[in-house]
Amino acid sequence: MASAPNTALISAYRAAAWVATPFARLLLASRLKRGKEDAARLNERFGRTAAPRPKGPLVWLHGASVGEMLSLLPLIDRLRGRGFHVLLTSGTVTSARLAAQRLPAGAVHQFVPLDSPLFLRRFLRHWRPNLVLLAESELWPNLITEVNARRVPLVLVNARMSPRSFASWRRLPRSASALLARVDLCLAQAEGDGQRYAKLGAPRVTVTGNLKFDAPPPPVDEAAFDALRQATSGRPMLVAASTHEGEDEVVIAAHRGLREAIPGLLTIIAPRHPQRGPAIIEAANGEEVPAVLRSDGYLPDRGTQIYVADTIGELGLFYSLAPVALLGGSLVARGGQNPIEPAKLGAAILHGPHIGNFEAVYDRLDTEGGAAKVTDAPSLAAAVRRLLDEEDARVRMTEAARATITSLSGALDRTLAAIDPYLVQIRLERH
């Protein structure tokens, strides 16, 4: 695809990025203090690396954080199966840790460089990708411009454009069009996403569905599962997964309201940001609810009522163990969390009203009886009590959720079919 001309706004953004580049270390130092960077890998944010580029065709995939990265794993497996080397980038410490656990052999993880022309040129000179796949809503102007300048095909996969983001871009129509003109293909999650991208000027928009439906459920460590199951010895359980600040108090209050009605209840709180674990312990103890931290090496005993799972990569374990799951980020305005994983692992799903990140999925689940909405501590307590007391109702919900998720799968095959011409072309050029 030919390079598109810059608008004044894109040119100003690029100029500002050049000016800001010398101050990048200050930005990263601030993020490092807040636990948002890996000190041992800061050079990757400047486009530097000690990792060698593998010989042969290489596909660069980028997913901003955990959810995007996990949705790309099945696609990475397929690409590796076809003989392509894979470079996966992301921007969060948590996603990097999960990549170390979940990436197949022959795939390399790097932190994505900051959106500076200097850093991106350094990165691209080293890795020389043959194809670039950007997941969901990653529209970094310098990244897209630098890839386009090298005539490397760039495809948006699992592309998502929220109404809010669309409204923001609509205020900059020429810049949006100029940026998206550099994209070879846009593979949208849903019709609404596709329409919004098309209206902004993206060429060749195709709706392929959501790759998250095709992702395997998170792995479960058998030894850890057996140890935790033995420690809980059949106790009724609720897991509050990926909670944000402001939700833990609701969960603790619901637990207090359920203690007499459901003797022995154990509530597992797995915070979205594990470093919040001690604060959750403090909040629970303040409400006279005994709590322990998993990262301290504790297993829950009979006196434990709140078990704070401040670890990474273990949600599959808790979804498999607890029959009921509250998905966090939904009782506060954080857009909700992915319900596909608990649905595949058989946990009954509860969520709050703030589900904008996964609205279409939750709408289907709620309509089909595969999930239920709660709004506060009393409604959460009532829903948990019903699902723990009425096994038939819980089984109906979990079966409906699993059937709904299965019916929405297929995006992986459609995505591979759409990018196959690029993969064939790479093979031809190599020969």
How far apart (Å, rounded) are the C-alpha atoms in residues 192 and 179?
20
197-231 b/e with 16+ CB inside 10 Å = b? bbbbbbeebebbbbbbbbbebbebeeeebeebeeb
| Tokens, residue 252 | 């603790």
What's the CA gap between 237 and 227, in Å, rounded? 15
Give the DSSP H/E element, type plus range, for residue 306. Answer: strand 306-308
341 is catalytic: no
> Do 371 and 341 form a contact (C-beta atoms < 8 A)?
no
Of 343, 327, 344, whose CA–CA distance to 335 is shortest?
A: 327
Read off φ and ψ for residue 62, nearest 5 degrees: -130, 130
Residue 311 tokens read as: 């670890």
Strands 131-135 and 58-62: parallel
DSSP state of 355: -
Among residues 417, 419, 348, which one has the least CA distance to residue 387?
Answer: 348
Determine which one of 37, 44, 68, 341 is catalytic. Answer: 68
- Is the Cβ–Cβ distance between 361 and 336 less than 8 Å? no
Contact yes or no for 240/332 (Cβ under 8 A): no
- Distance of alpha carbon 46 from alpha carbon 329, whole angstroms: 31
Q: In sequence order, which residues have a C-beta less than 8 Å from that of residue 178 and are 6 or more positions away?
A: 4, 5, 6, 7, 10, 201
- Closest by CA to 399, choosing from 360, 349, 363, is 349
Strands (E), 40-145: 58-62, 85-90, 107-111, 131-135
Query: In the Cβ-directed half-sphere of 389, how many Cα atoms lie within 13 Å?
Result: 10
Catalytic residues: 68
